Structures are given as structure tokens and as C-alpha cells.
Chains A and B, each alone.
Chain A
Amino acid sequence: MQPLFGPSSKFADGALVLAAREGQPWAQEALFRRYVPVAFGQAWRLMPHEDPEDLAQEAMVRALTHLHRLEQPQAFAAWLSTIVVRLATTRLRRQRLLHRLGLRGPDPTASLERATAATGDPEAAASLAEVYRQLANFPTEERVALVLQRVEGLELTEIAERMGLSLATVKRRLASGDARLKEQSRG
């Protein structure tokens, strides 16, 4: 029998958020179990070679410990997605900086191939690895905006919300990213 108040409860997100805010562990766990796969999926698509599981876990910790800042409890999913995107942006920036300073550890390309191979289809994995290899050299905001638009399929306004940028800035980042992609495909 399913526990009514357990992690597998059928409560709506808003109700779980309200209970989790009150410090109810069952509600925190229910939110975690419901959303960690979602956060993991998005983290993987944003940065497959950079330990998406760790990113998803960090995003969940942040979300569960800052629930009092969520104005609309029923909008937990979109809010969590915003946290994942911003954490990924920070990590990608740090990764680029370390790379530039020569402090980067092992070659990220190898882990990229391992990560994309986990999707199962070798052909898709190869083309995916190629896409992310191209994106690796893009400025962080351009890269994230492109992934959110073309891989996550988000609208411009949603991208702006997730990234914390104005719509005009997002358009500029996407235009610049598109131009860079075209340039790479010509070269």
C-alpha cells in the first residue's frame, strides 16, 4: 500500500513545497525523488562531461534549503530548472577559467565521449559528442543559451528567466552563438 504522506504520495508540487517549507522530511524526500531525475537530465544536457549527478544533487540541496524564497509553490519545477541552469553556468565558467590558466585536470574530451556513449545509440552519441565539442569553445552564456533553445526546446522568454538575463541579452547571445556555429561549420 502506498504511504499517503510518503515520498511516493500523489500530492501536487505546491502542497509538497508548503509541507517541506515547514521542515517536514517526508515532503522534502518526496520532492527530491520526484525531481532529482529531472535535474539530472537537464544537468547532463548542459554539461555531460562535468559530473551531472553532482550538479543535480547540489541543485536539489539548494532548492530544498531555499524553499522560503519560492514565491509560487506550484512553480517548483521551473524554479529548480533555473537553479540547475545557473549552477551549470557557474561551473562552466570556472571550467573555462581553469582551462585558460592551465589548471584543468584530465582531458574533458575523453569524459565527454564516455558520457555521451551512455545514451546507447553509438551514432547519436558520436554526433552529440561532436556538438558538445564545438560548444566547449563557446563563451559560457552563448553555450548555455544555445543548449536551452536547441536541446531543451525552451522559448526565448523561458531562457531569459532561467538564465537571469533580459530577453534582449538572450537574443544577442543566441545570434552570436548561431553565427559562431555557422562559422565553425564553414571552417
Chain B
Amino acid sequence: MAEPRPPAPPLDPHRIDALWQATAPKVSFAERRRRLRRGLALAAALPLIAGLGFWAGRAPSAEGLRAVGDQVASHSEPSRFTLRDGTVVEAGPDTAMTLSRLEEREIGLHLAQGQAHFEVKKRPERRFLVQVDDVTVTVVGTRFWVARRAEEVEVQVEEGVVEVEHQGQRSTLRAGQRWARPRHVTPPAAGPEPELDPAPIETADPDPPAAEPAPGPQNPARADRPQPRSVGKAERKRAEADRLFEAALEARRSGDPQAALQAFRTLVQAHPNHPRVALSSFELGRLEMDVAKDLDAAVIALSRAVRAGQNTSFAEDALARLAQAQAGRGDRRGCQEARKLYAERYPAGSYAASLATVCP
């Protein structure tokens, strides 16, 4: 086979122009068709929605959160529920929330732990608040998510506008922007340290730049905006995790399993919320088994991979590996549990035969 990767003939800029000219109408047509379909589906569903609305009005039972003080907690699985006003909340794994306010003009949630995505029904007459520690996020109608992690509080806006208030300072975030500040730090009496100041990361701003006044002392409204240092920290952390993941893959490709092992270990320990943590845990488990010969560590990593990576392409392998690792370290019960789970999920799986002989 040809190695390294053969270069494809280049696609010249004029050709790209021509391709875009041919593609743009197709994209636009598909977009219009999708909107039309959604509109038709909505029109068709109106009687059903009206009926459900009537029913909901009679029995206003939002799942989980009905009265002030009600709590919801998701464990290893994410959960989704709808509030009385139609707001849809998707709570990530290990997330805890309390309904702190339920009034005609204001609904409030307190995020005690974890992260959640909110799709808030647009109602100009009422405010929707999410409180995390001393940070308050206020919205009217939008989609956004809030995370309370060990080291920081983070808000990211998908659609619409939200206002974040922290220690008397307000920041307005638009679609595509995010805001973060470190946790567990008490600001000095003289005022907040610059590092603690929250700052929106302007990953996307749909408004043209001319609409925004320039920053500086002549423009206090803009100058009030927090400095980008703390946001840089969160971004740097994320970038560091991405780099570790790429470095680990690269080390594996180039035949350096020790380097891959170190990179995956660091990634899984230091960045447990990274989107590729399930895959990283699986790779780490394999390396702990095959390279480091540390079956205890392999079991920890593979258990995490099984928990976090359900319905992934490697889920079957992770479970089979977990049973083998448990057998290898002499944990008969752990092995049997993993084997049983494997048999339930993959009755005709590739490892069904080989697992039948471990921990009988």
C-alpha cells in the first residue's frame, strides 16, 4: 500500500468559486424546504398541541420541578425535562438543580453541580434566571448552556442573548459567545483581581463590528467589559486538552505507546469533561493493559469508558476488555458482571465466544 498519504491534486481557487456557485443554491433550497416542512408539521400538529396545552393547563405537572425547592439530579445518564412554561432543560451527567423561584414574571433555577442546556421559551413578560454560585444568568428567550465545574463556571450561548451578572458586573453575551470565570477564589477587598474578571469570548458575533463602539476610556460601556484574561484561561485549558488528545493519537500512530499512555493519563485525569474523554478512557484502558500491564488502572479506565461511551463504536470492545482485565486481576465477581452486561448488550458479539471461558 502507498505510504505516506499520496497528495491529491490541488483544487484551485477558481474551481472552488465555481463549486460554491453551484452549491449555494442547493443549500439555500434545502434550507427553505426544511423550514417549510417544519412549518407544515407545526400546522398539522396544532390541534394536538392545543389539546396537550389544555391538558397541561389542567394538570400543570412539569416533570421533576413543580414547586420552589424541588430538586432534580441526574446520575451517570443525562436527563431531559420540561418546565411548566415550556422551557426544555437537558441536564448533563452528575448534575443537580433546584427550582429556586416560580412566579408569573420570574422563574429561577439554581445549578448546584454539573452542566445543563436550556431552551427557554420566549416570553418577554417573564425573566428566566439560572444561578451558579454568585453568578446569575438572565434570559428572555434563547438557547444556552451553563456548566459548574470544579475549576470554573461557564456560560455559552447558542441562540439569542443572555446577561451574566457576577459581583455587580454585567456582561451581555450573544449567539456563539461564551463566558467563564474561575471558581473557589475569593477576590481581595480592594476589588476583583483582573484574572478573576469574566470576559466573553467572542467566538462569533453576528453583529457587524461597526455597530459596536470601540473599547477604551472614552467609552465606559465597552470599557466595563471584562478583560479577556480569564476567558483565555478556560480557552487555554480546552486547547491544552485538545492538544493532549492529538498528541496521544499521534504517539500511537508513530509507535510510541509510552508517550500515548502518558498523554491519555493526563487528559483523563485533568480534563474529565473533555468531549473525547470516553474514547480517551478506552485507549488508556487498552494501554494500561497491554503496555503498562497495570490491570487495576485498566479497570478504572475501562469502567469509565463503558459508562461514558455507551452507543459508541468502541463500546463493545471496552466491555469485553473490562471483563478480561477483571479476570486478569482475579476479580471474579467484577469479571462476571462485565461478562453478563456484554452478553445482554451483544448476544451475538465478536467476543461472546472468547468471554464464555473467562471467569466461568
Contacts and interface: CB of A to CB of B under 8 A. Distances in A.
A61 B314 contact: no
A143 B221 CA distance: 60
B2 A32 contact: no
A134 to B, nearest CB: 9
Contacts of B28: 25
B26 interface: yes
B236 interface: no
Interface in B275-321: 275, 279, 282-283, 312-317
A44 B8 contact: yes
A137 to B, nearest CB: 15
A67 to B, nearest CB: 10
A52 B252 CA distance: 30
B1 A167 contact: no
Interface residues of B, number: 49
Contacts of A169: 350
Interface in A54-78: 56-57, 60-61, 64-65, 72, 75
B41 interface: no
A159 B83 CA distance: 40
B228 interface: no
A166 B313 contact: yes
Interface string B190-222: 000000000000011010110000000000000
B351 A168 contact: yes
B9 A44 contact: yes
A160 B313 contact: yes
B58 interface: no
A18 B175 contact: yes
Given A157-B283, A168-B349, A57 B22 contact: yes
Interface string B79-90: 000000000000
6 contacts: A16-B204, A22-B159, A36-B16, A124-B6, A131-B1, A160-B313
Interface of B: 1-11, 15-16, 19-20, 22-24, 26-28, 30-31, 34, 158-159, 175-176, 203-204, 206, 208-209, 249, 252-253, 275, 279, 282-283, 312-317, 349-351
